[in-house]
Amino acid sequence: MSVVKVIELIASSKKSFDDAVQEAVNEASKTVRNIDSVWVKDMKVHVKDGKISSYGVICKVSFRLDDEK
């Protein structure tokens, strides 16, 4: 039987939404194994002087728990 756990992460990037999601995966991968998928729950941008200064995402990261035998 496989069990999947979900954690929620907030990440940002000065480049793009895609880069912000990749940052979330990069950071999660440092301590989490078996990442299966990422669901982008919410997106936003920060604006400074009328221009986008950064992109932010709230992600739900799903990963399979290791089987103990």
Give the domain ranges of the chain: 15-64
User: What pLDDT sits at residue 66?
Assistant: 82
What distance, in Å, lies between the first and last C-alpha atoms of the chain? 12
Say if residue 68's pLDDT is above 80. no
pLDDT tens digit sequence for 35-66: 999 999 999 999 999 999 999 999 999 999 98
Q: Please give the model's pTM, rounded to 2 decimal places.
A: 0.86
